[in-house]
Amino acid sequence: MPYQLTAVILTFNEADHIIPCLESLSWADRLFVFDSFSQDSTVALAQAAGAEIAQEKFQNYAQQRNAALDALQTDWIFFVDADERGTPELGAEIRKVIAERSEMGWYVPRHNYIFGRLTLGAGWYPDHQLRLFRHGRVRYERPVHEVALVDGGIGYLQNPLGHYNYRDLAQFHFKQRAYSSYEAKILFEQGVRARPHNFFLQPWRQFWWRFITLKGYQDGLHGLRLSLYLGYYEWVKYRKLAWFWRKR
């Protein structure tokens, strides 16, 4: 009997994305929307499209993924964010590896579309994400930029997910501010202090890493702008870390 494959979509106020996301995953056996009590029409739209629904109050990213795992009985789980899109080619490849291979987890590459443009430099490709798992063989750790711990071998898929992660500059800055706060809090809880040199060296290293090492220059002015922004948010992270210590 073929393995059952369930696509799990984590959502919060994703009315603009949920229908095209679900439609792009029609090759999965089950579509399961795990929602954080959205305040828009996300849940109603997902139900109308035939998806199963469960809801859990959001605490952090690792907890949310673990709660989704606990809510399901299936053979294989493919985690997808609402702003991501599958393809028939990716679906066929997933079907093939879960039927023929022994790995318990699989990385999938992503095509990131930033401000409407496919971005291949500055670390945005192949941008492998560990998303496909044998049920019961994975747990998540870390509250942000969560880490999947897989009990078994791990492989790499070839066909990418499409990721429409930053539609405009306002959304980019909103998300980066949130990420910098999460990361500063983690450093604070680990006892790390912001040193004077961090405010210069860490932004410079981030920019150099993005633009030179990860070839952000391949995307021209677009890559330069993204690399500068990400360097700036390293500075923001350490400024927030210093604030946590002052507040203490």
In the beta sheet, which residues pair with residue 31? 7
Q: Does residue 161 sit in the same domain as residue 172?
A: no
Give the span between the Cα atoms of 170 and 116, in whole angstroms: 13
Q: Does residue 30 sit in the same domain as residue 147?
A: yes
Q: Does residue 150 sit in the same domain as residue 28?
A: yes
Q: Does residue 148 sit in the same domain as residue 234?
A: no
For 160, phi then psi, to 5°, come to -90, 155
Asked if residues 143 and 94 have their Cβ atoms less than 8 Å apart, the reply is no
pTM to 2 decimal places: 0.87
Q: Does residue 36 sit in the same domain as residue 68?
A: yes
pLDDT tens track of the chain, all 248 residues?
689 999 999 999 999 999 999 999 999 999 999 999 999 999 999 999 999 999 999 998 899 999 999 999 999 999 999 999 999 999 999 999 999 999 999 999 999 999 999 999 999 999 999 999 999 999 999 776 789 999 999 999 999 999 998 999 999 999 999 999 989 999 999 999 999 999 999 999 999 999 999 999 999 999 999 999 999 999 999 999 999 999 98
Q: Which two tokens stand for residue 113?
A: 């579309």
Q: Does residue 159 sit in the same domain as residue 183?
A: no
Give the span between the Cα atoms of 40 and 9, in whole angstroms: 16
Rg of the chain over Cα atoms, rounded to whole angstroms, equals: 19
Domain limit, last residue, from 132, 165, 198: 165
Enclosing domain of residue 228:
168-247
In the beta sheet, which residues pair with residue 155? 106
Give, in order, the Cα–Cα distances in Å from 47 to each of 15, 18, 35, 198.
Answer: 12, 10, 12, 48
